[in-house]
Amino acid sequence: MYDKLEDLCLRLEEVISQLGEPDVAGDQDRFRRLMKEQNDLIPIVDAYKKYKAASETVADSLEMLESENDEEMREMLKEELSQAREDVDRLDHQLKVLLLPRDPNDDKNVIVEIRAGAGGDEAALFAADIFRMYSNFAERNRWRVETMNSNENGLGGYKEIIFMITGQGAYSKLKYESGVHRVQRIPATESGGRIHTSTVTVAIMPEAEEVDVQIDMNDCRFDVFRASGNGGQCVNTTDSAVRLTHIPTGIVISCQDEKSQLKNKDKALKVLRSRLYELEQAKKHDAEAETRRSQVGTGDRSEKIRTYNYPQGRVTDHRIKLTLHRLDSIINGDLEEIIDSLIAADQAAKLANMQETA
């Protein structure tokens, strides 16, 4: 590991040197690649330098303890040694995490699909709550939310809503959200005051670029129709809505949120590209069984991942057995603690898997 870290230190110096060359600024693709590589390398190199400094402090403290007779000085050296050893252990773990293979999709934007499951109108209302939760979380991270398509139930809920979140690292944080989200509460539509259990399904897909997925337009059929539901005058009175059918897979996507038929067609193609990319990724995951087992729920739509219990004000993530008693703040977008815990659990599982196969 440490030979690799030394190589990365040298590589960072090379990248910085290349960025200083006059011709690089004129080649935007090369400049972006080098800047991204520099940004990826700096945290690793910084942690390695701190690790080496802490290791040197351990060695120096041990050497000085052997020759030091003054008791007060020895106590200071022991305290310094203890702190340096803690730093070595912490930085050693940090470096192992930083050197884990990166998910190539982590820097991508995401397309999110939320669908009401069991529970009828209450499930649709909960789907709207989950949409607001992710929208608020995106706002906290200064990401942009753009609705691709929505199907309302007339009570302020969504039978289905598809939207894109654009921002640096969006997929790296949201990829753990795919699965079944369950709510336990007294529905606004329930007059008897009984607690109901309803579900919604969330799918998180990295936005696929054209280089990731090539779509043969001969495999696509486009139908146009008049949009329904809430919308501007032009949306509801012109055939601007688009239904895209991908014939080989049978995937059907409808987009009607834009006034322009062309824009709706473009959005539908983005969703199709991401769905096809997700299908391809799922095939790879199934083929790589060990990798699949080392992940903390990143993609299975049928997996029940979280329960939101309103009477007790708690949220439980079933994958990592985490329960938090602050449902109100979480449903309003305060997801950081849950997501950080999922990331830590995923990293721990991958590290353990690497040690087993080493």
| pLDDT tens profile 6-26 | 888 999 999 898 888 888 878
pLDDT of 358 above 60 = no
- Position 208 scores a pLDDT of 87
Which tens digits make up the pLDDT trace of 243-296? 999 999 999 998 887 788 888 888 999 999 998 988 888 777 665 554 444 455
- Mean pLDDT for the stretch of residues 317-337: 95
Give the chain's length. Answer: 358
Q: Place 203 in a pLDDT band, splitting at 50, 70 and 90.
A: very high
Predicted pLDDT at 291: 45
User: For residue 325, is pLDDT > 70?
Assistant: yes
Q: Which helix (H) or strand (E) holds 157?
A: none
Backbone angles phi, psi at 167, to 5 degrees: 170, 155
**What are the distances in angstroms from CA 142 to CA 110, 145, 170, 204?**
14, 10, 10, 19
Q: Could you state, in order of their start, the residue ranges of all structural domains in the chain?
A: 2-98, 110-211+289-351, 217-283
In the structure, what pLDDT confidence band is assigned to residue 37 with cuts at 50, 70 and 90?
confident
Protein fold of 2-98: Methane Monooxygenase Hydroxylase; Chain G, domain 1 (1.20.58)
pLDDT at 103 over 90: no
Region class of 154: left (phi > 0), else alpha (psi between -120 and 50), else beta? left
Q: How far, in Å, CA of 83 to CA of 86, rounded?
A: 5
Contact between 178 and 202 under an 8 Å Cβ cutoff? The reply is yes
Other CB atoms within 10 Å distance of the CB of residue 6: 11
Residue type, 9: C
| CATH number given to 217-283 | 3.30.160.20
Using the predicted structure, report yes or no on whether residue 235 has a pLDDT greater than 80.
Answer: no
The answer on pLDDT for 233 being more than 60 is no
* Distance between CA atoms of residues 104 and 179, nearest Å: 21
pLDDT at 142 over 70: yes
- Classify 110-211+289-351 by CATH class: alpha beta
Please tell me the distance from the alpha carbon of residue 250 to that of residue 221, in angstroms, as a whole number: 11
The two counts, helices (H) then strands (E), for the chain are 10, 11
As to burial, measured by CB atoms within 10 angstroms (0-12 exposed, 13-18 middle, 19+ buried), residue 217 is exposed
Confidence of residue 299 (pLDDT cuts 50, 70, 90): very low
Predicted local distance difference test score (pLDDT) of residue 329: 96
Predicted TM-score (pTM) of this structure: 0.75
> What is each CA distance from 12 to 6, 17, 51, 300, 345, in whole angstroms?
10, 8, 17, 37, 29
- Segment among 215-219, 224-228, 342-346 with least mean pLDDT: 224-228
Helix then strand then coil, % of the chain, to nearest 5: 50, 20, 30
**Each residue's pLDDT tens digit, 42-75:** 999 999 999 999 999 999 999 999 888 888 889 9
Give percent above pLDDT 70 in the chain: 90
Interatomic CA distance for residues 53 and 50, integer angstroms: 5
Read off the pLDDT band of 148 (50, 70, 90): confident
Q: Please report where in the chains the tokens 């991401």 appear, as a residue.
A: 274
pLDDT at 133: 97
How many other C-beta atoms can be found within 10 angstroms of the C-beta atom of residue 182? 22
| Cα angle 286-290-293, degrees, rounded to a multiple of 5 | 80
* 143: nearest Cα among 93, 117, 108: 108
